Amino acid sequence: MRKQVGQGRRTQEALRQSEERFRLLVAHALDAVITIDVQGRITSWNPQAERLFGWAQEEVLGRLLSETIIPPTYRDAHERGLARFRATGEGPVLDRRIELTALHRNGTEFPVELAITPMRSGKTVLFSAFLRDITEAKRAEESRRQSEASFRLLFTSNPLPMWVYDVATMAFLEVNAAAVANYGYSREEFLGMRITDIRPPEEVPRLEAALTGLGAEADPTVRRHAGTWTHRLKDGRIRDVDIISHAIDFAGRRAALVVAIDVTELRQTQASLAKSTERLRILHEIDRALIAAEAPGAIAEAVLRRLRDLLGVPRAIVNLFDLATGEAEWLAAAGRRRIRLGPGVRFPLSLMGDVEALRRGEPQVIDVAALPRGPDAEALLASGVHTYMVVPMIAGGELIGGLSFGGAPGEFTAEQIGIAQEVAAQLAIALAQARLHERVKRQAEELEQRVQARTRELSTANDQLQREVAERQRAEAEADRANRAKSEFLSRMSHELRTPLNAILGFAQLLELEVERPADRESVEQIAKGGRHLLTLINEILDIARIEAGQLPLSPEPVRVGDAIQRVLDLARPLAAARRIELESDGAALHPQHVWADQQRLQQVLLNLVSNGIKYNRDAGRLTVACDAAEADRIRISVKDTGSGIAPALREHLFQPFDRLGAEQHGVEGTGLGLALSKRLVEAMGGTIGVESVPSEGSTFWVEFLRAESPIERLARTEPSPAVLAAPVELDGTVLYVEDNLSNLRLVERTLALRPGVKLIPAMQGRLGLALAQQHRPDLILLDLHLPDISGEQVLRELHVDPGLRQTPVVVLSADATPGQVQRLLAAGVRAYLTKPLDVRQLLALLDEVLRTGNA
Ligand code: ADP
Residue-wise pLDDT for 707-716, tens only, equals: 988 877 777 7
Q: How many residues does the chain have?
A: 856
Protein residue with least CA distance to atom 23, ligand 1? 613
Sorted by sequence, the CB contacts under 8 Å of residue 255 that are 6+ apart come out as 164, 165, 166, 167, 173, 247, 248, 249
Q: Which atom of ligand 1 is nearest to the CA of 664?
A: 14
Sheet containing strand 810-814, edge to edge, reads 758-763, 733-738, 780-783, 810-814, 832-835
CA of 682 to the centre of ligand 1 (A): 17
Query: Cα–Cα distance between 60 and 71 in angstroms, integer?
Result: 16
- Residue in 538, 658, 673, 675 to alter for ligand 1 test, most ligand atoms within 8 A of Cβ: 675
CA of 786 to the centre of ligand 1 (A): 29
**Residue 299 DSSP SS3:** helix
CA of 651 to the centre of ligand 1 (A): 10
Q: Which atom of ligand 1 is nearest to the CA of 613?
A: 23
Q: According to the model, what pLDDT value does residue 5 have?
A: 54
Query: Cα–Cα distance between 20 and 30 in angstroms, integer?
Result: 18
Query: Cα–Cα distance between 278 and 231 in angstroms, integer?
Result: 29
**Cα separations (Å) of 188 from 163, 184, 185, 591?**
13, 12, 8, 151
- Residue in 616, 650, 682, 694 to alter for ligand 1 test, most ligand atoms within 8 A of Cβ: 616
CA of 573 to the centre of ligand 1 (A): 19
User: Which secondary-structure segment (H or E) carries 638?
Assistant: strand 634-641
The per-residue pLDDT of the chain, averaged, comes to 85
List, for residues 463-484, the tens digit of each pLDDT value.
Answer: 999 999 999 999 988 888 887 7
Query: Cα–Cα distance between 716 and 591 in angstroms, integer?
Result: 19
Query: Is residue 425 pLDDT above 60, yes or no?
Result: yes
Per-residue exposure over 30-47, b if at least 16 CB sit within 10 Å of its own CB, e if not: ebbbbbbeeebbbbbbbe
Q: According to the model, what pLDDT value does residue 213 have?
A: 65
List, for residues 615-635, the tens digit of each pLDDT value.
Answer: 999 999 999 999 998 888 999
Report, as an integer, the average pLDDT of 777-803: 89
CA of 670 to the centre of ligand 1 (A): 8
Query: Cα–Cα distance between 101 and 133 in angstroms, integer?
Result: 10
According to DSSP, the residues that pair with 520 across neighbouring strands are none
Q: Which residues line ligand 1 (CB under 6 A)?
A: 608, 612-613, 616, 641, 643, 646, 654, 660-661, 663, 670-676, 699
Q: According to the model, what pLDDT value does residue 546 have?
A: 76
Name which residue leads in pLDDT, 602 or 79. 602
Protein residue with least CA distance to atom 27, ligand 1? 616
User: Which secondary-structure segment (H or E) carries 636?
Assistant: strand 634-641
CA of 658 to the centre of ligand 1 (A): 10
Local confidence band at 856 (pLDDT 50, 70, 90 cut-offs): very low
Listing DSSP states for 486-546 in one string gives: HHHHHHHHHHHHHHHHHHHHHHHHHHHHH--SHHHHHHHHHHHHHHHHHHHHHHHHHHHHH
Percentage helix, strand, coil, to 5, in the chain?
A: 50, 25, 25
Sorted by sequence, the CB contacts under 8 Å of residue 158 that are 6+ apart come out as 176, 178, 259
What one-letter code names the amino acid at 546? R
Query: Cα–Cα distance between 420 and 422 in angstroms, integer?
Result: 5
Nearest to 209 by CA among 159, 254, 170, 152: 170
Q: Which atom of ligand 1 is nearest to the CA of 643?
A: 24
User: How would you classify the pairing of strands 780-783 and 810-814?
Assistant: parallel
Q: According to the model, what pLDDT value does residue 814 have?
A: 84
CA of 89 to the centre of ligand 1 (A): 195
Q: Which atom of ligand 1 is nearest to the CA of 657?
A: 6
Q: According to the model, what pLDDT value does residue 622 have?
A: 94
Protein residue with least CA distance to atom 7, ligand 1? 674
pTM of the predicted model as reported, rounded to 2 decimal places: 0.43
Q: Are 626 and 637 in contact (CB under 8 A)?
A: yes
CA of 406 to the centre of ligand 1 (A): 108
CA of 829 to the centre of ligand 1 (A): 46
Query: Cα–Cα distance between 61 and 250 in angstroms, integer?
Result: 53
Report, as an integer, the average pLDDT of 802-813: 90
- Residue in 544, 654, 679, 699 to alter for ligand 1 test, most ligand atoms within 8 A of Cβ: 654
Name which residue leads in pLDDT, 389 or 219. 389
Say if residue 363 is preceded by a cis peptide, omega within 30 of 0: no
What one-letter code names the amino acid at 291? I
CA of 654 to the centre of ligand 1 (A): 7
Sign of CA dihedral 487, 493, 499, 500: negative
CA of 489 to the centre of ligand 1 (A): 27
Highest mean pLDDT among 18-32, 85-99, 140-154, 541-555: 140-154
List, for residues 194-226, the tens digit of each pLDDT value.
Answer: 999 999 988 888 888 877 766 555 555 556 777
- Residue in 660, 665, 694, 700 to alter for ligand 1 test, most ligand atoms within 8 A of Cβ: 660
